[in-house]
Homo-oligomer: A and B are copies of this chain.
């Protein structure tokens, strides 16, 4: 991997998402050598992927080059690689570009879509965890509409205009809302020869409310907003299968749809090599103590979505979201420094800053620890928080410009099929 030997201890971080980035920031300008490994050369701001998928933002504005973030940091090395295996007994990583020894290892690989073992759904449904996947959804939506106006077969046309989103968490809700806004403002103008009323947006949730992690008020209000935007919400319905044509469920309801977006679950993106007792099979998460240290290892840490830090308050670990990831990443850096320089480590205490979701124009729900509100003001807060959290001035400015433009013009302009998804899929 061509990383020079150094007299400083080497800390290797796998993953440049929220957790990995926070850890890397916390370790910069110290007497350390830091190596950050990621399979992409950029950080992805995942909370806005749904806007890329629905033509509201260009992908480049929610990505930030990892090298740029650290290019003024000494003793910092970035490597574009896939990590294949950890060899804890040798303190070594195997990667697609060679092996690397570490003194301290931070696993921040994040999460991937959880299909709960259903191979059909995995094969035919769309995921939305990365920029290329979001661009695939963008292409597919637009390609479906182009195809819909060619057919006179009503069943076929309906299937092309029928969107099924499985999972009523923030991803599913935000995507459903954004699709509903496309249906309202953009598609009728772009496809005057189609009757856009035939377009159906179905949001399927296995339990009895959407946005389960938020307050009852937020959930109710989000449901209300979505219904007003014309989204069909199916609660207490469980998707059993999808063969590329028809979604079958545990009730008599089935959906003939060309586009199914699976937002019903995530699981840790595991790396091979850790002892079985460290891994929670079901969620593919790594068990860590309150210092983010992987149990039974002395110099391996896990932070963010991949880590399960269970406590009395959070028996299943913290939610797989940006906030716990950032906070854990920041603390693990401090604790590694404390360990190396013999000062006192601190246990993790999750500071819940609240959560929020946007449904559409002037419609969002926000749960702060002491205040819960919905509507226009919540929408402004949502925008402000997301804009502020993006990395880089240029990205902030371009996202802001897009949002102002969309707001004034009721438009989303990046409805471009840069790479065909359908041809790609068939190839």
Contact = CB atoms under 8 A, between A and B. Distances in A.
A413 interface: yes
A417 B130 CA distance: 12
Contacts of A2: 149-152, 193
Interface stretch (A110-118, A121-129, A395-403): A395-403
B392 A397 contact: no
Contacts of A369: none
Interface string A47-90: 00000000000111101110110011000010110000000000
Contacts of A63: 416, 418
Contact of A132 (B4, B58, B191, B419): B419
A71 B1 contact: no
A192 B58 contact: no
Interface string A363-404: 000000000000000000000000000001111011001100
Contacts of A395: 413
Given A58-B60, A60-B414, 14 more contacts: A2-B151, A41-B142, A41-B146, A59-B418, A63-B418, A65-B190, A68-B189, A68-B190, A77-B193, A80-B143, A98-B150, A132-B418, A393-B405, A398-B401
A131 interface: yes
A67 B191 contact: yes
Nearest to A188: B71
A416 B233 CA distance: 37
7 contacts: A2-B149, A4-B193, A41-B417, A64-B413, A67-B190, A72-B189, A394-B401
Interface string A101-112: 000000000000
Interface string A178-203: 00000000000111110000000000
A269 B80 CA distance: 38
Interface of A: 1-2, 4, 40-42, 58-61, 63-65, 67-68, 71-72, 77, 79-80, 97-98, 131-132, 135, 142-143, 146, 149-152, 189-193, 392-395, 397-398, 401-402, 405, 411, 413-419
Contacts of A77: 193
A135 B418 contact: yes
Contacts of A393: 405
A1 B394 contact: no
B97 A150 contact: yes
B413 A131 contact: no
A413 B65 contact: yes
A142 B78 CA distance: 13
A64 B55 CA distance: 12
Number of copies: 2
Contacts of A64: 413
Contacts of A59: 58, 60, 416, 418
B414 A190 contact: no
B418 A131 contact: yes
A34 to B, nearest CB: 13
A67 B187 CA distance: 10
Given A146-B41, A401-B401, A68 B413 contact: yes
A98 B415 CA distance: 24
A136 to B, nearest CB: 10
Contacts of A68: 189-190, 411, 413, 415
A193 to B, nearest CB: 7
A42 B58 CA distance: 14
A42 B394 contact: no
B71 A190 contact: yes
Contacts of A41: 142, 146, 415-417
A401 B405 contact: no
A88 to B, nearest CB: 24
A29 to B, nearest CB: 15
A55 to B, nearest CB: 9
A223 to B, nearest CB: 32
Nearest to A42: B416
Contacts of A143: 80
